[in-house]
Amino acid sequence: MVKLFFIILKKDFKDNLLSNKAWFTISFFLLCLLVFPLAFGNSQYIELNISISAIWIASLFANLIALDHMYKEDYDDGTLHYYTVNKISLGIVVYAKCLSHWIFSGLPIVVIAPFCLYIFSGYNETNFNLFISLVIGTPIFTLMGSPIAALMLGSSLRGAALTFITLPFYLPIIIFGVMGTNLNNSNINAEFYLLLAILSIGIVFFPVITIKILKYTIN
């Protein structure tokens, strides 16, 4: 099973590299943040809370852009049907897809976001907090979006519809992420623990829902 997991993960890596999804996600994230400071004119540093919120919101929308194609290619070319016919566990497929999606849409944001916060608001301890909170939060974006991406297979409602459906579910993650990142919050540890709790539950819960949706959609 482990070998099969890495085979599927390797296939997804190749597909993502050929389609330049990682560069598109990073470009979209940076474009959102590039437009954001224009509203503040000649301010040398943007208020910390606003900078953190902007980075979290930009990371969410960058994730949603990549989410649309999470299962689409494998569904369209019959790969998902091939997995079910050959009795390959969809659980392995879903976890491999989620990991691949996070590596190409979440990990680049985790790496560059603290540098963006430094540019906006200067250096402080919050840069490290942002890094840790995004390490926890961006996988949740992927896991929560997985069943929605599976639900959209075979449907003409894509893109904007996907964003509209998933956005309300992400709002608590954005709130906990922003509050957990901000050092001025006296309950900073509480938000980190809440994000960790959601991630711990989501690692099991959302893939199980995705598997059930994929089985229904394929059959």
Each domain of the chain, given as residue ranges in start order, spans 2-218
> Residue 156 pLDDT > 80, yes or no?
no
Inter-residue contact 104 to 25 (CB < 8 Å): yes
Mean pLDDT across the stretch 34-41? 69
> Residue 48 pLDDT > 90, yes or no?
no
- Cα 199 to Cα 144: distance, rounded to the nearest angstrom: 10
Q: Which residues touch 32 (CB under 8 Å, ≥6 apart)? A: 54, 57, 58, 61, 62
> Residue 179 pLDDT > 90, yes or no?
no
The proportion of the chain whose per-residue pLDDT surpasses 90, expressed as a percent, equals 24
pTM of the shown model: 0.88
Tokens matching residue 64: 């949603």
The number of CA neighbours under 13 Å toward the Cβ of 15 is: 19
Residue 162 pLDDT grade (very low, low, confident, very high; cuts 50, 70, 90):
low
**DSSP 8-state assignment for residue 123:** -
- Cα 34 to Cα 14: distance, rounded to the nearest angstrom: 30
> Residue 211 pLDDT > 80, yes or no?
yes
Mean pLDDT across the stretch 78-90? 87
What pLDDT was estimated at residue 206? 95
- Range among 74-83, 134-143, 146-155, 179-188 rated most confident: 134-143
- Cα 152 to Cα 163: distance, rounded to the nearest angstrom: 11
- Higher-pLDDT residue of 171 and 32 is 171
